[in-house]
Amino acid sequence: MVVLGLLAFLLGGYTYVTIPERKAFNTAEKKTERPIFEFSPDQVTQIDIMLNGQHLVGQRSAEGWKRMPDGELLPSAAIDDFLINITQIVNLGEVEGGTEQLSEYGLKPPLSQISLKVEGEGTRTLALGKHNPVNTSLYAQINESP
C-alpha cells in the first residue's frame, strides 16, 4: 500500500515538473458568441411570428401591443419579455456550406419564423430549424443570410 502511494507521488511530481505551465482559460479571449440582433426591444414596432402552423402579427400602439388585423389587445408584458429574450440570443457559430443545404437543417422551409420591424433599421428575421445532433441548440438563419 505504501509502495502504491510512493509511486503515485513520484508520477505526480514527474508530471508537474515535465508538463509546461498551462495558462488559465480566459473566456474573454476565447469568446466567439455574439448577439444575433443588436437593437433595443423598445425599437420594435411590429412582430410577425409563425410557429407550429399558427400565425401572429402584433403591432405596438399607444395602448400597448395589438393583434392585427382585428386590433385585439395582446399581453404587452409578455411580448416585451419575448423581445428582451430575442435580443439575448447568441450566435454560437456558423455552419459551412451554402443555401442548398438549408433543408438539411430544417431551414428551407423554416420550422418557425420570427420577423421584427425595427424602427430605423428595417425588418429583422430569425428562421428556426432543427435541433443540433446533441439537442443543445437550434439551427437558425438570421436575416436570410447563407
Residue 22 inside a domain? The answer is no
Q: What's the pLDDT at 85?
A: 93
Query: Residue 90 sits in which domain range?
Result: 32-142
Q: What's the pLDDT at 7?
A: 45
Q: What's the pLDDT at 45?
A: 96
Q: What's the pLDDT at 23?
A: 42
Q: What's the pLDDT at 144?
A: 82
Q: What's the pLDDT at 28?
A: 43
Residue 119 inside a domain? The answer is yes
CA-nearest of 110, 100, 103, 96 to 142 is 110
Instruction: Report the number of distinct structural domains present in the chain.
Output: 1
| DSSP H helical ranges for 19-134 | 27-30, 76-87
Ranges of residues in the chain whose predicted pLDDT is under 50: 1-7, 10-11, 22-30
Residue 70 inside a domain? The answer is yes
Residue 27 inside a domain? The answer is no
Q: What's the pLDDT at 29?
A: 42
pTM of the shown model: 0.70
Residue 36 inside a domain? The answer is yes
Rounded to 5°, angle at Cα 66 from 54 and 79: 70
What does the alpha-carbon distance between residue 15 and residue 125 come to, in Å, rounded to a whole number?
A: 52
